[in-house]
Structure 1
């Protein structure tokens, strides 16, 4: 029996025939390409699924568009050159304070690994000092493995942080340049309350009303008035936000970084997951503007959206990252960048850059892991030693 002729190598100019450049939708008769040459900038549809599957290898040809004009574009695709310019400098005469101090509230008896992954990612991504604020009951387990981090053991019950631990964190927070809260905390009532108190707007030593409908301020807790450092909210802390009425009006600081996956974004917004996935860019931008926060909508080609209508697409899509714990690594990476940008001689308090650089480093580390291990079998811990190599590759 005669064999079928081999499929020809297909090169697309600008776009594969049948690919919608705005939505990524595919016509049933789309001719999928092995190699696509596009001009000046990628088209949105080339980075949205299912369209991205029809693009093959994507090459962007320079056609002389002036940089000044390009800088006015609100939606961009992150490039290695752009990220290299945003990387915090590593001067030879630096000390650990130069690269900032990060405090990470994470972990519970059921999710010890989340705290380890987030804390170690923060050290591997360049933070000068990382402290894990964890339930006291899991301290011994973590101390045996997370050698480079320091610890702030917190009051806990049944293996989870409880609300009165918030006072301990609030009293220490002024010592740090960035705060991450959420990985592996669990969803116990006391833990939700802990999150709500820690991220609340500044308190003063004054008598509180015995009733508060917001779910944020506590009638029995008073704290020194203070502003939180740059804040990353991940995982179970996002669940705590969803339990808080109009949380975005009460959070401090006003511009935090939220790192939801599509399921968490559905919980926060009330939208169906499928609706979010159909318009990832639009949804991320809409709620970044509504909440006045930075939204990192995770997934293939992660979207980083800012309240001022800017958005950046992170150009990595690999099944190597589709495994438990990689979100903890991402959160730790982003808080490390926040700490470095705050701890530097010339601080950059605006956290959009930190979110973009952190997400890019994370995606690049995932790509390196895929190259070396394969698309299947990569675990979150494999990213930790590849974060410094991702940094080196970008530089």
Structure 2
């Protein structure tokens, strides 16, 4: 009897040991799969990454649930990896793994810090850093572990945009935007259509007025805006009209974008006009991106890129501040920059300011409120 009991306990111990070894082997294989996912990012290998995905992947992100097949996952990452490189894709903490008692289902919680370089808007590259966390389920198959679902989040970045914009204003000599004044810029413009004059009034907070000599006047106030082409009161300002006006606010678009654009945030680093730049992005009234650039060395404003909504299919517009320091015209300093250049495809418009200064808000008519 004692021998039989001993034999029974021995068999049970052997079975438990075998189960433990099997569970340990499956955890080892899962960790190998997680390392393969990391390698796929570092080598920008979409095929390697998608090989670890089940035939269909349940994706929970941005308030939606989607189902993607393996080919769709590979296609997505092929585009995401195109032209990109990774300087880091590292676990912030060791992945947390739980495997079911049956050994055929696993849950992984993972947090990674990413440093990535990618092309954007025709520029050579930009540098992006972010932290992401996700929970994924894995199923054991004849081919090993395969990801069956993933729910992902990103760590919200700090509000670096306000810090950069504060530095930009200090770089041009402003401790703060004067709320009782309006920035006035008068410029003579040369371009493919011949020379013309333009006057721009920009108020902190968002009011603005754009007047072309002999042409239309665009105004925006807190209650709306209008376009007047010399026919009385004109017509209401549309979103494309508003983006056209904002695109010409050469100074306050860069110094006060928070009152002119939506969702302004820091995107990373880039090259702009041959200089290292901090890159911010916002959205115009039509929901299109507006990219703002500030010198990496001292956050001084460099320029911006906007979408042309006035001519369907037209190339986007790039504005670059030109010149150094200030110049003197009629005993009045030209603030911030003596000139600017608009470029759109092969077209080039050069702005030379005859006035660029602050004036009293009471001296400017932005229209009825």
User: Normalised by the shorter chain, which TM-score bucket?
Assistant: under 0.3
Superposition TM-score, scaled by structure 2 size:
0.27
Superposition TM-score, scaled by structure 1 size:
0.26
Q: Whose radius of gyration is greater, 1 or 2?
A: 2
Q: Say which structure, 1 or 2, has more relative contact order (CA 8 Å, 6+ apart).
A: 1
Which structure features the higher share of strand residues? Answer: 2
